Structure 1
Amino acid sequence: MSIIMSVSALLSALLLLASAASASHFYGGSMTFNPIKNPDGSYRVDFRFKEAYHSCYTSDSWACRSGNCGSRTSFVGGRVDSSSKGGSWCQTEAVIKRTVPNNSPFQLTQSSCCWIYTIYDIYGGNWGLLTHIDLGERSDTSKPNRSPVATTLPIVRVPQNCARNYNLLSCDPDKDTVRCRYGTLSANECGMCRQPPGFTLDQSTCTLSNSVNASIGTYAFELVMEDYPTRNITLNYTAMAPTVRSPFVNSSSSSPLSKIPLQFAVEVEAPAPSCIEGEYLPRFIHPTPHQGEHLQARVNQELEIRVKATATFSSITDVVFSGPLNSTKETTTTGEYVINWTPTSDNFGQHFPICFIAEGQNGSRNYQSEMRCVIVVVEAAGPRAQVTCTKDTMSVSIERSTISGIHGDHLRLNNNASCAVSSNSTHVFTTFSLSGCGTQIEETDEHLSFKNTIVTYDNPNHIITRKNIFEIEVMCKYQKKSSITTRFDAHRPAVNFTERGFGSFSYQFEFYQSGTFRNTRDPSSYPLDYNVGETIYMEIAPVNVIQNTEVFLESCVATPYDNPSYPISYPIITNGCGVDETVNIYTSHQPNVKFSMEAFKFIGQYDQVFISCSIIICEANNPNTRCAQGCTNGTQVAPSSHVHKREAAIQTGSHFISQGPLRLRRSASFTDAISPSLNLNLVFVAGCVVAVVAMVCGMMVYKSRGSKVNYQLLKSDEI
């Protein structure tokens, strides 16, 4: 009998432990609110509630603790971001709208079990949140009070030997003074209600600091954020007597305008080899916005926040963030993380906090950067525009009435005088090639974007201006798919050039079946398939032979896309010299140039490649031309091609011509053929790019150099 009872007791204990383990999942939460007075005298209050658990979960379990809390009219929730490092967590946000009959104060609360395991409660303690809302009409703004805005990552991590400050971004839309303190149990503001040892909280700046050598483990912080007016104000109510609110003096003599919860966890980890940011701990670099920076967004127009970090001894693996509902995150091939969010008309005039942390990895250790936070202020919709994307062009049309004060004749593309912007009485418009006029290409995990900028200028001969600078970044975004041929012309047509002294001429870039250069590869067979190490035979030749001229192959570069300025590139020929060791140039001082090289592939997810070359056309047999110089080390100055009075032109400028795509025939043994000791950025064996088929949208990004405005999208049209 005793054995049976012992087994029963053991099973009960195990079940209790299992229950505690499954319930220990809360990582913290926060609440902010924004009230709007309705025409009938009632109030609509928009609450934004964030919570984080081991898995993605959101619900409205807020209960009315005091006052008349009205009724809920809508609830929308969803995932913000998640991470598998430092404990798996998922943060969600719910937008809860309530209608209350008057502006008397009320309180909402919710509580449950259990916090994640902490250093002072291995079973995970209870948690509780409280929000105090006072909608009294302020004498200084004639509007009801708005709460401070704040957010934080669910858990932040710091090595035991590294001191760090966490600025909790105490921002108030009414410009009130914001203070932070630990919650109290008697007011239902917390669950465990502890003040963790080894940490200090500056209540006036809402800055949390850890001391060096705090005990290793996880700490829960249950804070309350309060706002106080900067001078005496009166709050007027429809159903009760007015009250006076005063600036903060001390906690016992001053009553706050509102109280909101801000709860999260801090994990103190094993010591790091170095606490210098940029070594093991990631360090933010340009174009990351600064701590506390205010960014402007526009209604119904996407906002971009670009974040980039570096670390000498760690690899940047992720950027985790906390932002508004419907925020998204993408990663570019240049290592930038782009946080996107599109405000709605309901968000007009409101302030939204966004915080982010970069994560780096060294071996089995993961390190976090500082937490950086910004405030997004939502303004009215901007210029109305239409962006149309095709397989190789972008067309932009902007309504003049929405960009008043800007002269249509003082706009051009990317400071390129040859790429003008036209205008009439109603619109400003332009059409340009995706590979011309300085268009830049950017790749993320899911999209391929082509970007250019429309800018103002006073005079094409001036390098300064004293007028307001107006910039619109235009973009065509395409979704990456598995085939390139359905949206982009595979075989590139002949390129036409026009230059003074040479007239108009056309050159064609072709691939040949063999070194005899007799039979070209069939244009309908593009993208061309090659095996690893197979020789590629190429020729650049005039469509119609131009008498007494020769062509000089100045440079060739391989890129994943049909854009020679793409940041990922591999030089093949530079200054007329073969850079790739397999390059052979068969002809020189001829109207055409023939060359070959072995097939190559970019390391990574690219399976296709374009080859772009720069050519110069010269007067034949003239020793003073660049063609006559041949291969140089880049230090020699090329002869001038300027046309002087009574002199004939002896050479053209540089002209780009490209062809592709090429595609590698995959083989099972391919990965074994690459030496791990080689520089992965320079090793190739055939082809390039994840292909692009589906056009997603055309859009515009408005930027103002005169203020701290980051990227704000103006218009997005589904194609």
Structure 2
Amino acid sequence: MLSFVLLLLLISGAQASYYGIVFSYSVGDFQLGAYQETEDWRVSFSSCEEFVSWFCGGDCSPNPVYLIDESRGEWCQKVFIGIGSISLTSHSYVFVPTNWIENINGIVSSRFELHLDRRKRSDINKPGSSPQTNIIPLVRVPSNCQRNINLLVSDPDGDDIRCRYAVYPECNICTPPSVLNVSSSCSLSFSPTNSSNEGPYAVQMVVEDFPRQTITLTEDGGGWEVKTTSDAMNRIPIQFVFTVDPAAPSCTEGEYLPRFLPPTPEHGAQISTNDSETLEIIVRAEATQAETTEILISGPAGVTKSSSGSGNFTLTWTPVASDIGLNKTFCFVVQANSSGSVYQSDLRCVLVTAVSHPSTTTPPPTTTTLPTTTNQPTTTTTPPASSIQNSTPVPGPNYVLALNTKISTSLSLETDSATITNLIKEELIRRGLSPDITLKLLSSGAVQVTTAAP
């Protein structure tokens, strides 16, 4: 594992008020004699200084640590991005950060376990990545209001993802919140309860990935193990605080509880941006009986937020090289205040992906034949890519153009085919093809392009 794990073990005794962790890792290409990995450690405490004390031993300046967001007087979330090479192994690691904030389910000392299976998989011919998800450190709901929290989970390898409450040794005291039920599909449900159950709860969950077919995992040295569809591979923690607040005057969204308005993206939306462009996400919300005061977020490193007035927010993110091709889970809630009470909207999460620009190398002209929808072959000569990019298509019959290019992506053909297809289609249209083209991903990895007959 990367060297910073030793640092965590050495300083795990630091005192702080803990608000949880979300961990994930993604395995990239084989470079310099090993597979490269990016790890995402987002840990939350009652203040940013406590993160620095626990994670960095008092000085985070040499480390790639970023502030994600903070709710002053409650929590601060920072993320450490670790990048390095890995060995083809499978190991478990246990961490004991510090004490939780005081909570109703009586959990004092925090504890979480990482079980990371980085062995080479027979189905993708490389090590797999862990499930990807996210959540803000503190989710709140009035005691008289129904609330469902649907975690947005994804898996770069197309595995089956399941959620559950943690059990020892994945936690120290493992008592789950009595007011919150979790399903294997990663949905949490809260039903109205009485005032005696109001207060904060420590939530300790585990996300696991399971192969969708029987596969073989091979480690350094040649040892191997067969995994079936009932065998978990990775186990990663999701830990956060769930607070039951005093009853609200009304549970109708848009009155005291903020309601999202267009053009706020829907929960689960997939948003792509080019690697050199800044992505802006517009969030609007209203609460007619309260004042919408702030948006709280948990997203990729480097994300920022701003407000242009009550209920109007902009989230901004510029990807860096290590973000290219990765799905980043971006979560947010809007908070409103009325007579000293705080109300939260639903948790909303989207997937953001940075895609690299096509190669700027100019290919030689090529001649190729592609089928049209009328099954009559159309032979065309493709000019260099730079010519296509700067040309304007003239009105008239539509023709199929052929691009001699290679497309590389970390998206899965099995689970992300629609996203891949849309990205390719957008690029072909930008380069001069008609908007009515139809794309089909073939099992060979090739792309078949057809257009309506003139």
**What TM-score, normalized by structure 2, do the two folds share?**
0.73
Q: Map of 1:10-25 to 2, 5 A cutoff? A: 23=15, 25=17
Structure 2 counterpart of 1:625: none
Structure 2 counterpart of 1:77: 65
Structure 1 counterpart of 2:83: 97
Alpha-carbon deviations, 1:84-123, whole Å to 9, x = none? 3xx52111111022433x30112333213210110133xx
Residue 171 (structure 1) shift: 1.1
Q: Tell me: CA distance 1:34–1:176, structure 2 relative to 1, closer, same or farther (3 Å).
A: same
Q: Does 1:211 align with 2:211?
A: no
Structure 2 counterpart of 1:110: 95
Residue 308 (structure 1) shift: 0.9
Q: Does 1:53 align with 2:45?
A: yes
Contact 1:108 1:132 in 2 (8 A): yes
Cα distance between partner residues in 2 of 1:296 and 1:229: 27
Structure 1 counterpart of 2:451: none
* Bigger-Rg structure (1/2): 1
Q: Tell me: CA distance 1:405–1:201, structure 2 relative to 1, closer, same or farther (3 Å).
A: same
Residue 198 (structure 1) shift: 1.8
Contact 1:282 1:309 in 2 (8 A): yes
- What SS does structure 1 have at the residue aligned with 2:64? strand
Cα distance between partner residues in 2 of 1:293 and 1:403: 34
Q: Tell me: CA distance 1:345–1:466, structure 2 relative to 1, closer, same or farther (3 Å).
A: closer
Cα distance between partner residues in 1 of 2:219 and 2:53: 28
Structure 1 counterpart of 2:409: none
Q: Tell me: CA distance 1:280–1:403, structure 2 relative to 1, closer, same or farther (3 Å).
A: farther
Contact 1:104 1:240 in 2 (8 A): no
| Structure 2: unaligned runs, 5 residues or longer | 1-13, 56-61, 361-383, 396-428, 438-454
Structure 2 counterpart of 1:144: 127
Q: Map of 1:135-284 to 2, 5 A cutoff? A: 135-185=118-168, 187=169, 189-203=170-184, 205-213=185-193, 215-247=197-229, 254-284=230-260
Contact 1:300 1:345 in 2 (8 A): no
Q: Map of 1:81-480 to 2, 5 A cutoff? A: 81-84=69-72, 88-100=74-86, 102-121=87-106, 125-185=108-168, 187=169, 189-203=170-184, 205-213=185-193, 215-247=197-229, 254-333=230-309, 335-381=311-357, 401=385, 404=388, 407-408=391-392, 467=436
- What SS does structure 1 have at the residue aligned with 2:68? strand
How many residues get paired?
Answer: 358
Alpha-carbon deviations, 1:155-179, whole Å to 9, x = none? 0110000010111112111111111
1:83 partner letter: S
- What SS does structure 1 have at the residue aligned with 2:322? helix
Alpha-carbon deviations, 1:439-496, whole Å to 9, x = none? xxxxxxxxxxxxxxxx99x9xxxxxx9557xxxxxxxxxxxxxxxxxxxxxxxxxxxx
| Structure 1: unaligned runs, 5 residues or longer | 1-21, 63-73, 248-253, 385-399, 412-454, 459-464, 469-719
Cα distance between partner residues in 1 of 2:203 and 2:262: 31
Cα distance between partner residues in 1 of 2:155 and 2:95: 24
Residue 236 (structure 1) shift: 2.3
Q: Give the fraction of aligned pairs with identical amino acids, expressed as a percent.
A: 31
Q: Tell me: CA distance 1:314–1:256, structure 2 relative to 1, closer, same or farther (3 Å).
A: same
Cα distance between partner residues in 1 of 2:111 and 2:44: 14
Residue 37 (structure 1) shift: 4.8
Cα distance between partner residues in 2 of 1:50 and 1:403: 45
Residue 61 (structure 1) shift: 6.8
- What SS does structure 1 have at the residue aligned with 2:255? coil
1 or 2 for the larger relative contact order (CA 8 Å, sep ≥6)? 2
Contact 1:170 1:179 in 2 (8 A): no
Residue 335 (structure 1) shift: 4.3
Cα distance between partner residues in 2 of 1:409 and 1:259: 51
- What SS does structure 2 have at the residue aligned with 1:93? strand
Residue 298 (structure 1) shift: 2.0
Alpha-carbon deviations, 1:622-676, whole Å to 9, x = none? xxxxxxxxxxxxxxxxxxxxxxxxxxxxxxxxxxxxxxxxxxxxxxxxxxxxxxx
1:53 partner letter: F
Residue 258 (structure 1) shift: 0.6
Cα distance between partner residues in 1 of 2:387 and 2:191: 53
2:314 partner letter: V
2:24 partner letter: T
Cα distance between partner residues in 2 of 1:208 and 1:403: 52
Cα distance between partner residues in 2 of 1:158 and 1:334: 21
Q: Tell me: CA distance 1:236–1:218, structure 2 relative to 1, closer, same or farther (3 Å).
A: same
Q: Tell me: CA distance 1:33–1:216, structure 2 relative to 1, closer, same or farther (3 Å).
A: same
Q: How large is the Cα RMSD of the aligned pairs?
A: 2.8
- What SS does structure 2 have at the residue aligned with 1:47? strand
Cα distance between partner residues in 2 of 1:81 and 1:368: 16
Cα distance between partner residues in 1 of 2:63 and 2:123: 32
- What SS does structure 2 have at the residue aligned with 1:26? strand
Cα distance between partner residues in 2 of 1:349 and 1:234: 26
**What TM-score, normalized by structure 1, do the two folds share?**
0.47
Contact 1:196 1:221 in 2 (8 A): yes
Alpha-carbon deviations, 1:311-339, whole Å to 9, x = none? 11111111111011111111124842111
1:224 partner letter: V
Structure 2 counterpart of 1:494: none
Q: Tell me: CA distance 1:143–1:276, structure 2 relative to 1, closer, same or farther (3 Å).
A: same
Q: Tell me: CA distance 1:138–1:60, structure 2 relative to 1, closer, same or farther (3 Å).
A: farther
Residue 375 (structure 1) shift: 1.0
Contact 1:351 1:377 in 2 (8 A): yes
